[in-house]
Amino acid sequence: MWMVIKFEKKNLPFLKKEFFQKLGSKPEFYLPTIKIQKNLNNKLSDKEFFLLGDYLLCFHESFKNKNIQETLKYSRGVKYFLNGFIKSQIEITEFVKKCKLSEDKQGFIKQSFFEFKDKKKFKFLSGPFTNKIFTIISENQLKIKASIGKLSTIVSKDDYLYSPV
């Protein structure tokens, strides 16, 4: 069963350690991450962000037990458990599957995870055009043809991140 946990980022290692100790067997933690490139002083630097902010997904069979939930909610690093996670197991499982299918070789979420319908303007979050605003001229499953001012280019959807403006 999946549990949704709001956690303190600085205490994540302690949270994982306590869950391992209290549950006896190994829980599965899932924290989807994206890598965005920032342009600082004409240098590109990579920044990693948690897709869910300060929420963490954790799987263990014993989460059905209310006593286990009570024991774990006082673990170091746990702010609280999101209510209703028991009723949302199918949705959480589907979300985890979609995230894992959209991961690259390093485990970061690729652009193919995001679906933008009926949007006009976008901004590159990675690559040589970081922070540049563009419009999509045409697209297929693998590539987009983008217009950045007077420049027109074709880029791979999997290689670069972009978001609507």
Cβ contacts of residue 44 below 8 Å, gap of 6+?
37, 38, 130
Of the chain, the percentage scoring pLDDT greater than 70 comes to 96
Least confident of 51-60, 96-105, 119-128: 119-128
23: which DSSP letter? H
pLDDT of 40 above 90: no
In angstroms, what CA-CA distances link 75 with 18, 23, 48, 53, 120?
6, 12, 25, 19, 45
Q: Same domain for 98 and 127?
A: no
Per-residue pLDDT, averaged over 73-85, amounts to 89
Q: Same domain for 126 and 138?
A: yes
Q: Same domain for 89 and 145?
A: no
pLDDT of 46 above 80: yes
Beta strands 78-81; 121-124: pairing state? unpaired
DSSP 93-129: HHHHHHHHHTB-TTSBBPGGG----S--EEEE-SSTT
Residue 11's domain spans which residues? Answer: 2-109
Task: Output the six-digit token pair for 59.
Answer: 């799987």
CATH number at residue 36: 3.30.70.940
163: which DSSP letter? E
Which residue carries 């959807």 as its tokens?
157
pLDDT digits (tens, 9 = 90+) for 8-21: 999 999 999 999 99
Query: At 11, which amino acid appears?
Result: N
CATH number at residue 142: 2.30.30
Return d(Cα 54, Cα 94) in angstroms, integer.
20
Q: Return phi, psi of residue 86, to 5°.
A: -65, -40
Q: Same domain for 123 and 83?
A: no
Total domains present in the chain: 2
Cβ neighbour number for residue 133 with a 10 Å cutoff: 13
Per-residue pLDDT, averaged over 137-149, amounts to 84
Cβ contacts of residue 11 below 8 Å, gap of 6+?
76, 77
